[in-house]
Amino acid sequence: MGARSARAMIEKDPATVIKLSTLKVACQDCTLFQLCLPIGLDKADLTLLDRIIKRRRPVKRGEYLYRAGDVFESIYAVKSGSFKTSTITEEGREQVTGLHLPGELFGMDAINSGAYCCSAMALERSSVCEIPFSQLEELGAQIPSLMRQTVRIMSKEILRDKRIMQITKNSAPGRLAAFLLGLSERFRERGFAAQEYHLSMSRIDIGNYLGLADETVSRLFTRFQEDGLLVVERKHIRLIDVPRLQAVARGLSERASSKVYIGGGMYSKPPTGQDAPEREGDTGFPSWDPIYRIGVDVIDRQHQKLFDIGNRFYDAWRQHAPRAGLRRIFDELIEYTTYHFAEEERLMQQIEYPALPQHRANHEELVELVNHYRTQLKGRTTGAERQALEFLGTWLRAHVLDADRKIGVYLAGKKRSQAGPR
């Protein structure tokens, strides 16, 4: 029976639709309805699609659905559980190419060659819907929306592969953070808990997938847990600090990410008292004051310029300047900050300042953070301007009143000791 005649029969006999729709495994009754092929199909089209789908018996953990080189016959949709796809490199090593969750299709990479390029193995007890591709093509000729959805899913898979390629260019912590956040988003799309989930892939598979040694993955999980980013209980993952994980995924170190201003200050809480915001929603910004002098003229002048640039940024923000204008001021701040830090370190080297290594490390961390906020401004992150201002205000106060003031105290003491007793 052709697809068109089958649809006509269904439309004439509503009882047929009712009978098929009551099937426990019918597409329209599936909780993954909006993630898989059926999205956008009407009831009659769904029933036609449902007729060609084969519900496979549960697949045991470690069992293969197909192996690389097998003749391509079907694509698969994960109904429950998860699968990994992998291939064998020329050196004979396994290379994990994908992790597939409920509602996702796989096996489409074989459409062109006619043979599966990868092997697909269940990572846990799983179930799939098998969709014979030849029948899907025939049905797609009658239901344009079905083929549009197929192409859309293939495009989505291509974009996901591209993101994975980009992730593997990150630092090791950035790769793992991005991977965990990506899983969180995919679970959220499926209506599952986004910040607490079961990780079916082994540490070895994760490392293989991300281009990391499994020992590195284990160390990173331990470090992330120690830094309060997440909690790991065997394969159970609970994300604790998503904003900081996002910062690590964007390239910040775990140490620097802990000081990104999100609900708290980099060095302290938001200003209070006479430094408090003038009105609700206003961050306020410190102005240069003699109290910030450390007693080294050249450094004091540089600090004053940093305050001036910060206040120009603040004034432009208050006047609702375009983000491009704010970025130009921030770029000036980055350039001058780099120059200032180099001058400070040169001075500390000259006076043999004992805390130079720690100060230099702090400078590197601050440059990393400033670049982070520049990236936020360059993008379309909501509230990026406010966060940048809050960061700048707390940083300037702490940088000058705490770390740099110690340089002035040390230099003054050294001059007194060199002068000797009067």
pLDDT digits (tens, 9 = 90+) for 253-312: 666 666 654 433 334 333 333 333 333 334 468 888 888 899 899 999 999 999 999 999
pLDDT score at 2: 38
> Is 80 exceeded by the pLDDT of residue 52?
no
C-beta separation of 303 from 333 below 8 A: no
> Is 50 exceeded by the pLDDT of residue 148?
yes
> Structure tokens of 222?
């331990």
**Which residue, among 359, 366, 362, has the nearest Cα to 333 in the 3D structure?**
366
Long-range pairs for 228-232: beta carbons < 8 A, 24 or more residues apart: 228/258, 229/177, 229/254, 230/180
- pLDDT of 149-202, one tens digit each? 777 777 677 666 666 666 667 788 989 999 999 999 888 877 788 889 999 999
Segment 61-69 shows an average pLDDT of 94
pLDDT score at 116: 94
Domains 3-166 and 281-419 fall in the same CATH topology: no
Q: How far apart are CA 290 and CA 302, in angstroms?
A: 13
pTM of the model: 0.58
Helix/strand/coil for 100? strand
C-beta separation of 181 from 188 below 8 A: no
> Is 50 exceeded by the pLDDT of residue 373?
yes
**Which residue, among 208, 210, 211, 237, has the nearest Cα to 224 in the 3D structure?**
237
Banded model confidence at residue 3, pLDDT cuts 50, 70, 90: very low
Banded model confidence at residue 347, pLDDT cuts 50, 70, 90: very high
pLDDT score at 50: 66
pLDDT score at 213: 92
Q: How far apart are CA 151 and CA 133, in angstroms?
A: 13
pLDDT score at 179: 93
| CATH topology (fold) of 281-419 | Four Helix Bundle (Hemerythrin (Met), subunit A) (1.20.120)
> Which residue type does 253 have?
S
- pLDDT of 197-256, one tens digit each? 999 999 999 999 999 999 999 999 999 998 888 999 888 999 988 878 887 887 766 666
pLDDT score at 18: 25
Alpha helices (runs of H) in 86-129, residue ranges in sequence order:
none
- pLDDT of 7-50, one tens digit each? 443 344 433 322 222 323 455 556 555 556 545 555 666 666 66
**Which residue, among 177, 369, 175, 178, has the nearest Cα to 256 in the 3D structure?**
369
Determine the straight-line distance between the first and last CA of the chain, rounded to whole angstroms: 112
- pLDDT of 323-345, one tens digit each? 889 999 999 999 999 999 999 99
Bridge partners of 232, per DSSP, are: 237
pLDDT score at 401: 78
For the chain, give the mean pLDDT: 78
| CATH topology (fold) of 169-257 | Arc Repressor Mutant, subunit A (1.10.10)
Domain boundaries, the chain: 3-166, 169-257, 281-419
Provide the Cα torsion 412, 414, 417, 422; round to 10°. -30
Q: How far apart are CA 310 and CA 259, in angstroms?
A: 19
CATH 3.40.50.300, domain 3-166, yes or no: no
Q: How far apart are CA 358 and CA 361, in angstroms?
A: 5
Residue 82 backbone class (left: φ over 0; alpha: ψ -120 to 50; beta: rest): beta
Q: How far apart are CA 147 and CA 135, in angstroms?
A: 12
Question: What's the full length of the chain, in residues?
Answer: 422
pLDDT score at 201: 92
Q: Where are the beta strands (DSSP E) in 89-235?
A: 94-100, 105-106, 119-122, 127-132, 196-198, 230-233
Segment 385-411 shows an average pLDDT of 83
